[in-house]
Amino acid sequence: MMAYQTPTAFPLFRDNYRPEINHYPVQVPDIKSGAEYYFETESGLKYQVIFARKKNNYLEHIINFSVLSEEFEDEYSETNRGEIYRVIATLIEIIRIFHQQHASSTSYEFSGEFKQGNEARKISIRTMLYYRKAREILHPGWELESQGNKVVVRHLKEK
């Protein structure tokens, strides 16, 4: 029989993790248990980050990251304006805040959209970037897995 350590016993990020770059100001939900976060970049792009609960397990989440700015016909347009590292730092901060408020969460899943012309790839460039960054900062109490074009982070169960 496996003993299960509650997720609150393990932080999501390494103890020595410190952001290398400042994040954008984050608009947190009015209710602490909320799942919608927003931020705006210096170039005026407005982003939304939503944590959707998986149907089969209330403690597992899919992270939906999208652009809300009206200047793009679809939300997956090319939006990189040299702000990618600060955007990633902001995503990490949002995940940190969410996990603080939902410390019993057991998994997070996210994927990056394909740039036009790269749809034939198995893994998008953005997903590879997310995976590489997660590998750098994830606490050893969590496992990181690539599933096709998805990055999945799961809390480890003690044996």
pLDDT in tens, 25-84: 999 999 988 999 999 998 888 999 999 999 999 999 999 998 886 665 544 444 555 688
pLDDT at 159: 47
Is residue 1 a part of any domain in this protein?
no
What's at 54, amino acid-wise?
K
Three-state DSSP at 99 gives helix
**What's the domain count of the chain?**
1
Is residue 67 a part of any domain in this protein?
yes
Task: Compute the C-alpha angle 37/137/12, nearest 5°.
Answer: 60
Is residue 112 a part of any domain in this protein?
yes
pLDDT in tens, 67-121: 886 665 544 444 555 688 899 999 999 999 999 999 889 999 998 776 666 666 7
| 17, pLDDT greater than 80 | yes
Is residue 142 a part of any domain in this protein?
yes
Task: Give the structural domain span for 139.
Answer: 7-155
Q: Give residue 137's pLDDT band: very low, low, confident or very high (50, 70, 90).
A: very high
